[in-house]
Amino acid sequence: MHRILLLMATRTYRSRAFMRAARKLDAEVVVGSERRQALARARSGNTITVNFRRPERAIAQITEAADEQPFDAIVGVDDDTTMVAAMAAEALGVRHNSVAAVRATRNKYVMRQLLASAAVPSPPFELASLDDDLTDLAFRTPYPCVVKPVFLSASRGVIRADNPGGFLSAVERVRAILQDPEVAAAGAEDARRIMVEGFIPGPEVALEGIMIGGRLKMLAIFDKPDPLDGPYFEETIYVTPSRLPVEGQTRVCDVTARAAAALGLREGPVHAELRVNSDGAWVIEIAARSIGGLCSDTLEFSGGMSLEEMILLNAVGADVSRFEREQQPSGVMMLPIPRAGTLHAVHGLEDAKAAPGIVDVTVSIPIGAQVVPLPEGNRYLGFMFARGESPERVEAALRDAHRRLTFEIV
Ligand code: ADP
């Protein structure tokens, strides 16, 4: 029986899907998390405490557990834990992406440098220090541009600017996000830096894939039919299969494979965001993890297998190269937070669930909780899933169901 260490932070959206996958596979699962609450929720299997904030401590804790009984695989379920997973795997000699490759996915500056040196299409960029006077840069940088933190995720602090005034106010907004004590501690010197990138126009897609011995296996391409023109980049609807022409999809796959190779990603899930326009496919980002939130519920593979089952099988060395996504179009809508406040009530939930084509609606923020929209926030109100006979129908079902929902935020 394989023994798998699943690393998941308390706040992850991904525990349910990974725990369900682990139960379906004949594997012994150990959950590593930073606090006991998350461990209690995991319920099955063993648990260990892992301090994700202090990687050297985390590795010592994982090594101690491995000394008792070794792990066959170490899986970080999302951005919060992929680095520690790579470091622990390296320390214990477990098959995994290299630490350098995963580090490159977690640092937008390093990622852009590696993509540029491998001539993978990616936005022009410049690193700037928040300790400098950025007025010069404001007048010199080409517009539109995108200002973003170097190390955060979920579009947090990602802001488009169209002129020097917009640039300088975006910088102040990002500075404020980076001054949050928790963010500043996590970012260390990167919390004093920002990236300034050229804005790449055109529709955006997400590619979900898995690296098998250095080769990319494409699992799904999702269209993002809502325009992502800024100033903030809220994820809403994802629909697969993509409606891009075949040559566009081929280009997306090729460019993603080249991006993975440029960063040195060889094993496990990849999630890439690309823009497609008349100049080709451009890598906005590539991450060494699977799709975020609850969105993987849209995917199902040969024999009813979930994405997480595939990831765990791949992690223990099983051959997943022949598994294919089932054919039915499906999609998800991440329910955006329209404004800051306290979530008082959700109306129309049953009506939305009953809408044609809707599979499920999950509100993932409890009533009474504070909600923060982008660019400062990094959560969604919930997730809505649809299936249909065409991507158009799926998209229409999600929009219809969304109109039936009202979130009372006070
Ligand atoms: P995060 O890792 O926080 O999600 P990204 O760099 O992926 O940050 O940016 C989030 C979103 O912002 C992207 O999915 C895209 O829609 C938009 N975006 C970011 N950078 C650019 C860019 N240079 N050109 C166009 N859109 C961008």
pLDDT in tens, 287-313: 999 999 999 999 999 989 999 999 999
pLDDT class for 37, splitting at 50, 70, 90?
A: low
Give the pLDDT score at 391.
98
Asked if pLDDT for residue 378 goes beyond 90, the answer is no
Strand 159-161: give its sheet, edge to edge.
125-129, 193-198, 145-149, 159-161
Minimum-distance ligand 1 atom for the alpha carbon of 224: 16
Residue minimizing CA distance to atom 7 of ligand 1: 285
Residue minimizing CA distance to atom 12 of ligand 1: 233
Minimum-distance ligand 1 atom for the alpha carbon of 157: 3
What is the distance of C-alpha 218 from the center of its chain?
16
Query: Rounded to two decimals, what is the model's pTM?
Result: 0.95
Q: Which two tokens stand for residue 118?
A: 């491998």
How far is it between the farthest Cα atoms of the chain?
A: 61
CA distance 335 to 333: 6
Average pLDDT over the chain reads 95
Average pLDDT on 267-280 reads: 97
Give the pLDDT score at 36.
63
Give the pLDDT score at 45.
55
Minimum-distance ligand 1 atom for the alpha carbon of 125: 23
Give the pLDDT score at 40.
54
Minimum-distance ligand 1 atom for the alpha carbon of 228: 16
Distance 284 CA to ligand 1 centre (A): 6
Average pLDDT on 350-367 reads: 97
Give the pLDDT score at 11.
87
Distance 145 CA to ligand 1 centre (A): 11
pLDDT class for 15, splitting at 50, 70, 90?
A: very high
Minimum-distance ligand 1 atom for the alpha carbon of 145: 23
Q: How many CB atoms lie within 10 A of CB 116?
A: 15
- Parallel, antiparallel, or unpaired: how do β-strands 73-76 and 341-347 relate? unpaired
Alpha helix locations (H) across 130-209?
A: 135-140, 164-179, 181-187
Give the pLDDT score at 237.
98
Average pLDDT on 63-90 reads: 96
Question: 111 and 286 in contact (C-beta within 8 Å)?
Answer: yes
Residue minimizing CA distance to atom 5 of ligand 1: 155
pLDDT class for 1, splitting at 50, 70, 90?
A: confident
- DSSP code of 325? B
Distance 215 CA to ligand 1 centre (A): 25
What is the distance of C-alpha 280 from the center of its chain?
23
Query: In the chain, pLDDT over 90 holds for what percent of residues?
Result: 92
Average pLDDT on 98-107 reads: 97
Distance 232 CA to ligand 1 centre (A): 9
Give the pLDDT score at 26.
82
Average pLDDT on 273-295 reads: 97
Average pLDDT on 15-44 reads: 80
pLDDT class for 119, splitting at 50, 70, 90?
A: very high
Q: How many Å is the Cα radius of gyration of the chain?
A: 21
Residue 304 Ramachandran class (φ > 0 left, ψ -120 to 50 alpha, else beta)? left
Q: Which two tokens stand for residue 357?
A: 């084509």
pLDDT class for 329, splitting at 50, 70, 90?
A: very high
Ligand 1 pocket: which of 222, 273, 282 to mutate (most atoms within 8 A of CB): 273
DSSP calls for 255-316: HHHHHHHHHT--SEEEEEEEEEETTEEEEEEEESS---TTGGGG--BGGGB-HHHHHHHHHT
Distance 67 CA to ligand 1 centre (A): 41
Query: Is the CA virtual torsion 264, 253, 15, 310 positive or negative?
Result: negative
Residue type, 389: E
Q: Which protein residues touch ligand 1 with a CB less than 6 Å away? A: 108, 123, 146, 148, 152-156, 158, 197-200, 204, 228, 233, 273, 275, 284-285
Give the pLDDT score at 383.
97
Asked if pLDDT for residue 152 goes beyond 80, the answer is yes
Minimum-distance ligand 1 atom for the alpha carbon of 285: 7
More confident residue, 182 or 225: 225
CA distance 338 to 134: 31
Distance 73 CA to ligand 1 centre (A): 31
Give the pLDDT score at 35.
77
